[in-house]
Amino acid sequence: VDLNVSRNNIKEIPTEISRLTNLIRLFLTDNCLESLPDSLGHMPTLIKLVCNRNGLQELPSSLAISKSLTDLKFQDNCLQSLPFELHVMSQLKVLNLRGNNFDGKMEEMVSEYSLPELFHFLKQMYYAVKTNVLLLSAQRLHTIPGIVKELENLRQIDFSQNLCREVLPSIAYLQNLSDLNLRGNKIKDLPFELCLCKCMKVLDLGENKLKTVPPCICNMASLSFLWLDKNKVAEIPQDIAQLEFLSFLCIDYCRLVDLPSQVRMFQRMKNLSLKSNRLVQFPSSICEIRGLQELNLSETPNIFVIHDGIHMLEGLVSLIMNNCSLMRVTTNIGFCTSLKLLSISENTITNVPSSISKLTNLNILNLSRNKICFFPKVTNISVLQHLNLSYNEISTLCLEISDMISLTELNLDHNKISELPYTIAALKNLTELDLQHNRILSLPDAMGDLRKLIELRLHTNRLTSCPPSMIFLTNLEVLTLRGNQIATPPEFLSGLENLKTLTLGKNKQNELPSLDYELLFQPKNDAKEIKANHTFSRLQSENGHSSC
Q: How many CA atoms lie within 13 A of 339 on its CB side?
A: 28
More confident of the two residues 494 and 372? 372
Instruction: State the amino acid at position 82 in one-letter form.
Output: L
Question: In this predicted structure, which of 163-177, 222-236, 327-341, 514-528 has the lowest mean pLDDT?
Answer: 514-528
pLDDT of residue 537: 30
d(CA 247, CA 165) in angstroms, rounded, equals: 28
395 contact partners, CB below 8 Å, separation of at least 6 = 373, 415, 416, 417, 418
For residue 236, the cross-strand partners are none
Shared domain for 329 and 375, answered yes or no, is: yes
Q: What is the average per-residue pLDDT within 109-138?
A: 90
pLDDT of residue 400: 87
pLDDT of residue 130: 92
400 contact partners, CB below 8 Å, separation of at least 6 = 379, 380, 423
pLDDT of residue 514: 61
Residue 425, domain extent: 417-522
The answer to whether 388 and 366 have CB atoms below 8 angstroms apart is: yes
Domain limit, last residue, from 250, 278, 306: 278
In the predicted structure, residue 437 carries a pLDDT above the cut 50: yes
State the CATH number of the domain containing residue 16. Answer: 3.80.10.10
In the predicted structure, residue 518 carries a pLDDT above the cut 90: no
In a domain, 543, yes or no: no
Shared domain for 265 and 309, answered yes or no, is: no
Three-state SS across 159-205? CCCCCCCCCCHHHHHCCCCCEEECCCCCCCCCCHHHHHCCCCCEEEC
Domain limit, last residue, from 100, 128, 150: 100
Q: What is the average per-residue pLDDT within 66-89?
A: 95
Shared domain for 93 and 140, answered yes or no, is: no
In a domain, 387, yes or no: no
The pLDDT-based confidence of 543 (bands split at 50, 70, 90) is very low
pLDDT of residue 148: 86
More confident of the two residues 542 and 131? 131
Shared domain for 139 and 186, answered yes or no, is: yes
Helix (H, G, I), strand (E, B) or coil at 147: helix
Shared domain for 9 and 75, answered yes or no, is: yes
pLDDT of residue 310: 97
> Into how many domains does the chain fold?
4
In a domain, 410, yes or no: no
Shared domain for 219 and 131, answered yes or no, is: yes
pLDDT of residue 337: 95
The answer to whether 91 and 70 have CB atoms below 8 angstroms apart is: yes
In a domain, 430, yes or no: yes
The pLDDT-based confidence of 142 (bands split at 50, 70, 90) is confident
Helix (H, G, I), strand (E, B) or coil at 93: coil
Shared domain for 215 and 141, answered yes or no, is: yes
In the predicted structure, residue 526 carries a pLDDT above the cut 60: no
In a domain, 392, yes or no: no
Shared domain for 284 and 272, answered yes or no, is: no
Shared domain for 35 and 89, answered yes or no, is: yes
In a domain, 12, yes or no: yes
Shared domain for 274 and 299, answered yes or no, is: no
pLDDT of residue 214: 95
Question: In this predicted structure, which of 234-238, 363-367, 414-418, 531-535 has the lowest mean pLDDT?
Answer: 531-535
Instruction: Output the DSSP codes for 35-88.
Output: ---GGGGG-TT--EEE--SS------GGGGG-SS--EEE--SS------GGGGG
Shared domain for 119 and 91, answered yes or no, is: no
Shared domain for 465 and 494, answered yes or no, is: yes
The answer to whether 303 and 282 have CB atoms below 8 angstroms apart is: yes
Domain limit, last residue, from 247, 278, 309: 278
In the predicted structure, residue 534 carries a pLDDT above the cut 50: no
